[in-house]
Structure 1
Amino acid sequence: MRGVRNTVSVPLVELVKRRREPDVVQTLRSTAAATIAYVVALRLSSEPAPLTAPLTALLVVQVTLYSTFVTGVRRVNSVVAGVLVAIAFSVLVGLSWWSLGLIILASLVVGRLVRVSEFVPEVAISAMLVLGVTQVASTAWDRVLETLIGAVVGLLFNFLFVPPVWVSTAGQSIDGLARRMRQLLLRVGEGLTDPTPVERAAERLHEARRLDHDISEVDAALRQAEDSLRFNPRVKEGLLYRVVLRTGLDTLEICTVILRVLARTLTDLAKRRGGEPLLPPEVGATLQELLAHVADAVVSFSVLVTTQVSESAETAEARLAEVLATASTSRERLAHLLLDEIRRDPRHWQLQGALLTEIDRILDELDMEHRSKRLMEELDRASREQRERHPRLAAARQWVREALPRRAPTS
């Protein structure tokens, strides 16, 4: 008996520990919404087991409020379209193998026309289920009613119990990516003055290429965070948060590409050196020091991007400026050492010069002025696209801004 309790308690403990993860939140919210939808459908629908309602609620309740609204509208449109197709075919033809084929074809075409996205097969499914019964009109009405119940319950559930804002989760993903980049930069800087086999240099190159997979995972987490900010009443500056995180990830993605090129340059240099040290002692030590500063700058940049409190953001900005200044000083020292080395031995000047160029590109991407300029450009572009997409809403907001200062103070 004690073993059974331990077997049950362990998953529960793990569930409690992970209660703020998107998968856990989604599981609990979907279960509750589907159950409520079934209870409501039992009272309103004539079907003995109205499972379409909890199925719709299960599909409608998403991790974010924005995706819930979009999914709910698409789901209802797909079912209504399928029901209309079934009613039309029930009047014209009966159910046979050739009419079934026509129904499926027509339903899929209609689904594309009404733009229900991933619910295109739902149009055909609804049409076939409705047409497969004797009382088409009654069944069609029940299916539409159950779908509406599930969609409304799902939407109301997310409006009453607003989903979490996943900005912190996306921030953790960005921070994790930056720290993996830091570790790789430090490993790239190790052993520059020692005999370096091509295999070891190529291993660093493969690690840099694997960062592309990390970028994809962070991008997925960021998209979820962006959706959680849309239509969310708890968020006042959703556009700013979205642009800050998105531009931050774009910068880190560019840096990963440059880091991959840097690792490739060192691999090519290892091939040219044939097992000899890649760089002379003083040059190698200075490059290792510079890579360490660049690694710290990458982490400081991620902290600045993911920090929401103004005071903490100012501290992060000051820290990044300090690290970049130190890296710039180290970079100048490396440039002079490389110039002296190229004058002494110009055989590998292209690769040695490329190392400095690639580091310059990373420092330029992390530069505060470059960051501020890019952020303002993206904010202007996003605001302009929003005004063009919703001109009436933008005009109403502008009118409110202009009208508020004109109000006379009340005595």
Structure 2
Amino acid sequence: MHLPAAFSPTRLRTANRVPLLQVVKTTVATVAAWFVAVLLLPSELPIFAAIAALLVVQPSVNQSFGKAVERSVGVITGVVIASLIGLVFSGQTWVILLAIVVSIFFGWIFRLTPGSANQIPISAMLVLAIGAATPGYALDRIIETLIGAALGVLVNILIVPPVALGPAERDVNLLAGELAASLERLAAALTSPQTQQQLDGLMIQARLLRPMRESAAASVQQGEESLTLNPRRSAHRTRFEVVSQLLDRFTPVVTRVIGMTRAFHDHYDSSLIDEPALTSIAKELRRAAHDLRLLASPTFVRDEADATEPDTDIPALTAPLRIARPHPEHWLLIGSLMEDLRRIREEIIGN
């Protein structure tokens, strides 16, 4: 018998493990929250403190702080709702269900985040089910949750606060390499006859730049978030700013490269091979590819397509070309390529 896809064991596993350091920090925070809560509030098992610490330790200090706020707001609101409903309908067996329903709608009305909205009915239910007959139970659970949340944030700050700049640098460099490769592929296509299949392949490869750019932007966003509220921020701020600025400069280049490729794809005809201006444009495209790699990293690994370019740290892109009037059937394509090349040059030199 075959299980439905929803019950596949792969749905229970991820491709990558959570970093061991984060597992250790979560364990430390949970254990610390348990013992601190027992020390300060010995009357009950500190379940709320342990859960709060468990949930608050996140991949970044900023995320930990956000989870701490979500958890605290949810517990406090749930406890207040449960206390008020318990005062009005004390002794009624259906009061727990009423508290759950009210809590759910409270979160919906005030547009609370899922973390807070889900915590409100859980806290309300536990307070009414477990602590209804225990004086001070509701207040103790609030204090307990605050202890767990605070310790979760503190542990994430004190034990090697995470800095996620490596993935950002990797993805931005990958984007730079693919931009350069796309320019070189276009340069090769400008100077050799193309079949429709080759043109379509060129367009497909160019379109892949957009998801690469989105992936790089997401990594940069994660890197920025990892530095927010991070005590190690000052040591990595310059490094992050370089990566962020490179992404800002590469973003319009992605648009230009896709536009140039589309123009060539849509306006190609076999007589283009005789257009002398395309040879000069192809040369400038290869120089632009060289400079994109140089801009991304002085030690960027050069591939075989770039092997013919001089191995130098000096930018190779020259001033914009001056092209004699092309054939009337080709002037639109050549003009479009020239304008996009000019704008790419401006992004590379920082104008």
Q: Is 1:301 aligned with 2:283?
A: no
- Find the aligned partners of 1:278 and 1:39 in 2 and give their Cα distance: 77
Quote how far apart the aligned CAs of 1:213 are: 1.6
Within the candidate set 133, 157, 164, 2:155 is matched to: 157
Contact 2:81/2:99, CA 8 A, preserved across alignment: no
Q: Tell me the secondary structure at the aligned position of residue 233 of structure 2.
A: coil
Q: Is 1:91 aligned with 2:87?
A: yes
Structural mapping, 1:165-204, within 5 Å:
165-204=163-202
Structural mapping, 1:8-407, within 5 Å:
23-45=19-41, 50-93=46-89, 94=92, 96=94, 99-100=98-99, 102-109=101-108, 112=111, 118-133=115-130, 134-135=132-133, 137-236=135-234, 242-270=240-268, 273=269, 276=270, 278-280=272-274, 282-303=276-297, 319=313, 322-323=314-315, 326-329=316-319, 331-332=320-321, 335-336=322-323, 339-340=324-325, 342=326, 345-368=327-350, 370=351
| More RCO (CA 8 Å, sep 6+) | 2
Deviations 1:125-183 (A, max 9, x none): 22223223343655424432432232122122123214132233322221121112222
Root-mean-square deviation (CA), in Å? 3.1
- Find the aligned partners of 1:209 and 1:47 in 2 and give their Cα distance: 63
Q: Tell me the secondary structure at the aligned position of residue 346 of structure 1.
A: coil
- Find the aligned partners of 2:271 and 2:192 in 1 and give their Cα distance: 5
Quote how far apart the aligned CAs of 1:111 are: 5.4
Deviations 1:241-271 (A, max 9, x none): 554433321221111111111110111123x
Quote how far apart the aligned CAs of 1:358 are: 0.8
Quote how far apart the aligned CAs of 1:207 are: 2.1
Aligned sequence identity (%): 26
Quote how far apart the aligned CAs of 1:82 are: 1.2
Quote how far apart the aligned CAs of 1:83 are: 0.8
Contact 1:107/1:127, CA 8 A, preserved across alignment: no
- Find the aligned partners of 1:95 and 1:361 in 2 and give their Cα distance: 72
Deviations 1:70-103 (A, max 9, x none): 3212321221111111111111124538724642
Quote how far apart the aligned CAs of 1:222 are: 1.1
Look up the equivalent residue of 1:352 and give its one-letter code: I
- Find the aligned partners of 1:289 and 1:128 in 2 and give their Cα distance: 71
Q: CA separation of 1:298/1:117 partners in 2, compared to 1, >3 Å: closer, same or farther?
A: farther
Contact 1:165/1:229, CA 8 A, preserved across alignment: yes
- Find the aligned partners of 2:100 and 2:155 in 1 and give their Cα distance: 38
- Find the aligned partners of 1:177 and 1:22 in 2 and give their Cα distance: 26
5+ residue gaps, structure 2, are 1-15, 301-311
TM-score, with length taken from structure 2? 0.78
Contact 1:78/1:122, CA 8 A, preserved across alignment: yes
> What's 1:390 paired with?
none
- Find the aligned partners of 2:243 and 2:93 in 1 and give their Cα distance: 54
Quote how far apart the aligned CAs of 1:40 are: 3.9
> What's 1:7 paired with?
none
TM-score, with length taken from structure 1? 0.68
